[in-house]
Structure 1
Amino acid sequence: MSKKFLSVLAVTLLSFTVIVSGCGTQSSASSSGSSDQSTASSGDIKIGVPLPMTGSEATYGKDMENAIKMAVAEVNAKGGINGKTLGTVTGDDACDPQQATAAANKLVSEGVVAIVGGYCSGAVVPTLTIYNEKNIPYIVEAANSSKITDENPGNTFQINGTAVHQTQKAVELFKKLGAKNVAIVEQGDAYSSDLAKQTEAAWKAAGNTVVSHDVTTKGEQDFSSLVTSLKSKNTDLVFWTAYYADGALLIKQLRQGGYKGAIVVGDGSSDPKLIQMAGAAGEGTYVLSPPVAEFLPTAKQFADAYKAKYGQTPGAYAPLAYDGINLLADAMKRAGNTDGKAIIKALIETKDFQGLAGKVTFAPNKTLQESNFIVLQIKNGQFVLQ
């Protein structure tokens, strides 16, 4: 009995140890946030890549990471930077401010000399000073809230059009569509709120009417009361400024509820999944979009290579992600070294750098001198350039 008891006890303790070890691993992964989600590629010069690799925006993150890795491989194939190869370290920010901060600290600890990436503005803003304190240049490829511009500590360069640029394009489109009573719907995050507020101010300044400015909750499923309210206000255009997952649902419920007016969505919804998720209700929806490869004559070779490598067409931000690495490589070559201050100086001096998405010259606030936004419309289940 004693030996049997000891045997049972030993097995029990071993099982307990295994269980505790497993929980410990899970706990570590959870508490470290993006740290355990990091992936790296070998190279002499480490480039940090903060992107959402998990969560609702992970599709965008993976698409941008793919394009970044393609650009890195091409730079290395051409001899790298002054004889040294590039390597990447991806940190999962999950489009979450807290996890983004953990990812940023992890990337800094990895010894990265520059940062490229940044999809969600809300995840970018809290990391700006972390990189700046180490004089690490940051090329923001997608996020475009004016908060990034306003809080730019000096090391951050935005190669996507900003909320100011997008607002200008939105107002132009609203006028073209003959809109009078515009309703704006956002989700309260840094990106959608900024775009919503700027658009409202610009539309009113042009002598027009904003009949309502509503804030919904991320993941909200029932928009019926909002639809009823918008219809009662004789709304002839609804502008959704947040992301496609919830935007598609709002579009469906607007049409199911009998709303007949125009629907416009911001660049956070410029993904083919919007079409899939909205279905027939999405027909006719206008999309403010970054320069998509499909509509860029300069990006055909890139798009073909991307599809051959990854088995899918590049997403909305793939060209900008690809451009970010090539812009950084160009700045490093001009700087002559990998010193952060030297690279920042070279980026400031960039003039007419030719990327897939267009030429890059920075304004004094380190945003694009000229907008690169385009307008698409969903027709017959696909995006069509307007």
Structure 2
Amino acid sequence: MKTTAFAAAFAALFGGLVGIAPAMAEDITIGAVIPLSGASATTGKDQSRGIELAVKQVNANGGVLGKQLKVIVEDSGGKPQTAIDAAKKLVSVDKVPIVIGEYSSGNTIPLGQYLVQEGMPHINPASTSGLVRDIGATSYSVVGLDNVSTEFAAQDVLDHGWKKVAVLAMNNAFGQGVAEEFKKHFTAKGGEVATTVMYTIGQSTYRRELQQVEAAEPDAYVFTAYGTEGALIMQEAFELGMQEGKPWYSILITMMNKDTPAEFKKGLIGMDVGYIGEDGDSYKSEYETAYGETFLSAYGGYAHDAVLFAAAALNKAGSTDKAAVLKAIEDLGKEGVKGATGEIKLDADGQRTHQPYLKFKVEGEKLVAYE
């Protein structure tokens, strides 16, 4: 069993990351697996930026074990087997002491299971399926799971006055968890889920599934989707006239917002994990200065905090020995520390207990947070 949170945040700027060669002997190297290509590439790009800024912070504050920290970032391509293969390379070839990854729960779960089999510390920076809790004893999450996020979403939907909804979600570990947990919370609060339609990722069209949810005649549509998948769903809903007079509510809206043209998402609202916590203003400022734009998704900050978590554990362990690092994570979990995304505390299963959430509305191409 695992206890609570992680260790101290650092502060400032970085040196190398995506695609870097294996580190030299004087560096301490950890690994990360994220989707730099595929449907979720925009989010993967945001994650890579969060990792980059975290490494800058760590190295500006003394590094790890008196050496510079490096992160070898591998592309999962958004596919489970590719994610596993990338993790195997990081463990067997690069000999990293900690692996961060992935984004989609359908990739994070098998990747994490492989790492647990190897006795390797695994830090989940983004996946929220309730099944993540069961990955195993050496797997930890710095993002809250669906039982937390869907309760927030259910209350928000009801607060808008929509009591009968149709749910549309991808048919994988993440989507199944979202659909089940949302229905549980929504009905417990007095709402009705008229229908739940699960779709297969990678289709060329989603018109059949859209017509199925339309037939339920809901007050609103509640859905979740990755990057370009969400863009296609929104486009086809627009073409079918389903956005006229019926609101659309997105659970974890930043996953697909950047990939969806403005004309197909007018009036779209939703929620997502909070970009930053109360002490995250410096991270936001550094991000915008470094990249000339605001966050691409909500998940760069969690990848950022995963790196801080890993660096703190290595420093506390005093070495890269797996047993020592795992013991350090357990000990740090008892303390609880604020990262860019707020205070991170872990429960007995190594999962984050609470975190900030935000409500969003679309204005043109932008997402605007509101109370």
TM-score of the aligned structures, taking structure 2 as reference length: 0.85
Q: 1:237 aligns with which of 213, 217, 220?
A: 220
- 2: distance between equivalents of 1:225 and 1:54? 27
1:143-187 Cα offsets, whole Å, 9 max, x none, are 11111112x211111111211111111111121111221111112
The answer as to 2:285 corresponding to 1:318 is no
Q: Give the distance between the partners of 1:209 and 1:143, measured in 2 at CA.
A: 27
Q: Distance in 1 between matches of 2:193 and 2:112?
A: 33
Change (3 A) 1:63 1:40: farther
C-alpha displacement at 1:48, in angstroms? 0.8
Amino acid at match of 1:103: A
1:147 aligns with 2:131: yes
CA separation of 1:80 and 1:269: change in aligned 2, threshold 3 A: closer
1:46 maps to 2:32: no
Q: Residue in 2 aligned with 1:132?
A: 116
Give me the TM-score of the superposition, normalised by structure 1. Answer: 0.82
- The residue number in structure 2 matching 1:341 is 323
State yes or no: 1:287 paired with 2:256: no
Query: SS where residue 316 of structure 2 aligns?
Result: helix
1:235-268 CA distance string (max 9 Å, x none): 1121112213222332333344333222111226
* Per-residue deviation, residues 8-33 of structure 1 (Å, max 9, x unmatched): xxxxxxxxxxxxxxxxxxxxxxxxxx
Whole-angstrom distance in 2 between the partners of 1:178 and 1:297: 30
Match of 1:361 among 342, 345, 355: 345
**Distance in 2 of aligned mates of 1:177 and 1:373:** 17
Checking the alignment, whether the CA contact within 8 Å between 2:123 and 2:306 is kept in structure 1 is: yes
1:375 to 337, 353, 359: 359
Given residue 290 of structure 2, which amino acid in structure 1 is its aligned partner?
A: K
1:103: how far off? Answer: 0.8
1:126/1:228 CA distance change after superposition, 3 Å: closer
Q: How does 1:163-174 map to 2 (within 5 A)?
A: 163-174=146-157
Rg larger for = 1
Deviation at 1:364, TM superposition (A): 0.7
Q: What does residue 336 of structure 2 align with? A: 352
Structure 1 position 272, deviation (Å): 4.1
1:263 aligns with 2:248: yes
CA contact (8 A) 1:180 1:208 kept: yes
- Check 1:380–1:61 CA distance in 2 against 1; reply closer, same or farther (3 A cut): closer
Against the structure 1 CA distance between its residues 333 and 240, is the aligned structure 2 distance closer, same or farther, given a 3 Å change threshold? same
Secondary structure of 2:149 counterpart: helix
Alignment: residue pair count = 345
Question: Structure 1: which 5+ runs fail to align?
Answer: 1-36
2:338 and 2:302 mapped to 1: Cα distance?
12
1:82 match: 65
2:179 corresponds, among 196, 201, 206, to 196
Unpaired runs of 5+ residues, structure 2, are: 1-17
Q: For residues 208-241 of structure 1, what are the alpha-carbon distances to aligned partners after superposition, in whole Å with 9 as ceiling and x for unaligned? A: 3211111223243444444444333221121112
Aligned Cα RMSD in Å?
Answer: 2.3
Q: Letter of the aligned partner of 1:330 in structure 2?
A: A
In the aligned structure 2, how far is the partner of 1:256 from the partner of 1:129?
41
Secondary structure at 1:40's aligned position in 2? Answer: coil
**CA distance, structure 1, for counterparts of residue 357 and residue 60 of structure 2:** 31
Q: CA offsets, 1:93-144, max 9 Å, x none?
A: 1121111111111110110001123111111111223222333211111111
Residue 282 of structure 2 corresponds to 301
Tell me if the contact between 2:30 and 2:70 (Cα under 8 Å) persists in the aligned partners.
yes
Contact (CA 8 Å) 2:42, 2:258: kept in 1 or not? Answer: no
Give identity over the alignment, percent.
Answer: 26
